[in-house]
Amino acid sequence: MKVRLVFASALLICVSACKKESDPPPVAPLVATSPVTVSGGVATGGGEITDDGRSPITAAGLAWSSTNTAPTLADDTTKNALSGKTFTATIAGLEPSTTYYFRAYATNAVGTAYGEVVTVNTENGSPEARNTGIEGNANITNKIKATFTYFDHEGDAQAPGTYQWYVANDSTSGPGTAISGATDSIYTIPAADQGKFLRAAITPKAEGGSTTGAVAYTPWMGPIGGEPTSVTFMYNGEEVTYGIITSTTTGKKWLDRNLGAKQAATSPTDHLAYGDLFQWGRPADGHQLINWTSSTEGTPVNGTTETRFNSNIPNSSSFVITNAPPYDWVEPSNSNRWITQPMGPCPIGWHVPTESEWDAEGIEAITAIKLTNAGQRFFSGPVLLIGSNGLYWSSSGGGGTVQHFLVSSGGTPNVQTLSSGYSVRCIRD
């Protein structure tokens, strides 16, 4: 009995040992490369582990190269998580019109194995606008030019591209606003762009292949400087643009016409340059409007009233008729008008000139800033002295009388009642 037990134990030991010696050792895995597709410089592919080699897979992915026809881990690779026995990979940034070689790989404790090589050609590349910039001086009235270096992967010849200029208040807040009609490589900077920033969007084109490239932007240019040549502002409910004239006497900047004028004066009796006739210190509320029909004739547009207003900013277009002291259109009379609000009806950055500013111009103002003989609207209502006199308000005065500039008297400052209607010419602050 004892002998049989010993024999059985020995037999078990022999069977166990013989079984371990017959198991095959781990080997490198087997992996197959999946089809690879390319679109827009992005490749999508992957692989399948067909045999793990009896050892856990520690890495799997795609190896690829544009120079090595049998890419390995020494080339570019992806490392992807397995989903069962398969994996997928996405590779971006491939060069156009280039041959690439892909193959899947898998690694276990024994080593790395590769699948078959898949060869793919990327599509024709679009032209590119590189090294964008702007040439020229960043001042108004100057011409500036959008520039770039043309590049095409296949060497396709350059065709005329397209341009769009943009303007913004600064260079950080957003893409800017497209400038209507500014679709050439050259842009002439208008006065309205002063203090702002400019850039151009460039769309390159090629004569063949992929003809249109992606939009490329130049850096911002700005802030735009230089002396403006015109001013655009709202007057009497509509947008107007007036030129700027520099006095040859003082060097001061003046608007090139009276407020309300259709054009700058071609002569002192150019009725299209007469403009409107304001009561002193009053805003452009319609009371000042005159319909000029010739160098000697003009008719008020709106009616009159004999009632003085109780506000410096009346809600009316009526011209106030006065036939008795204090000859003012507002009651109580005060100097708290163009004095404390010197801009008056002028655009922002401009004002009704002071007495001293008129004095500095002197008689030369008649020609230096092209004054006209629009006459005056008398405080009792009629328009008089058309074609023979030019009378311009200053912002100095108040208390019933104010200085004005009389063209026909050789630029002599005179005193007149506040309810009279005179021309207004604005000077820059």
Per residue in 71-105, pLDDT (tens digit) is 999 999 998 878 789 999 999 999 888 999 999 99
User: Considering the chain, what percentage of its residues have pLDDT values greater than 70?
Assistant: 90
- The rounded distance, in Å, linking the Cα atoms of 178 and 31 is 55
Q: Is the pLDDT of residue 20 over 60?
A: no
Q: Is the pLDDT of residue 162 over 90?
A: yes
Distance between the two ends of the chain, CA-based, in angstroms? 128
Contacts of 114 (CB under 8 A, 6+ apart): 31, 63, 70, 72, 103, 104, 105
- The rounded distance, in Å, linking the Cα atoms of 272 and 257 is 10
Q: Is the pLDDT of residue 117 over 60?
A: yes
H/E run at residue 357: helix 355-361
pLDDT band, residue 174 (cuts 50/70/90): confident
Quickly list DSSP for 165-182: EEEESSSSSSS-EEPTT-
The confidence score (pLDDT) of residue 405 equals: 64
The confidence score (pLDDT) of residue 18 equals: 47
The confidence score (pLDDT) of residue 335 equals: 80
- In terms of phi and psi (left: phi > 0; alpha: psi -120 to 50; beta: otherwise), the region of 77 is beta
User: Considering the chain, what percentage of its residues have pLDDT values greater than 90?
Assistant: 65
Q: Is the pLDDT of residue 266 over 80?
A: yes
Write out the two tokens for 306: 């004999």
- The rounded distance, in Å, linking the Cα atoms of 283 and 234 is 13
pLDDT band, residue 25 (cuts 50/70/90): very high
pLDDT band, residue 250 (cuts 50/70/90): very high
The average pLDDT across 366-381 equals 92
pLDDT band, residue 16 (cuts 50/70/90): very low
Q: Is the pLDDT of residue 400 over 90?
A: no
Task: Enter the pTM of the model.
Answer: 0.53
The average pLDDT across 118-146 equals 92
pLDDT band, residue 12 (cuts 50/70/90): very low
Q: In terms of residues, how long is the chain?
A: 429
The average pLDDT across 287-314 equals 96
The confidence score (pLDDT) of residue 6 equals: 37
Write out the two tokens for 222: 């700005």
The average pLDDT across 375-383 equals 94
The confidence score (pLDDT) of residue 412 equals: 58
The average pLDDT across 333-350 equals 81
Mean pLDDT of the chain: 88
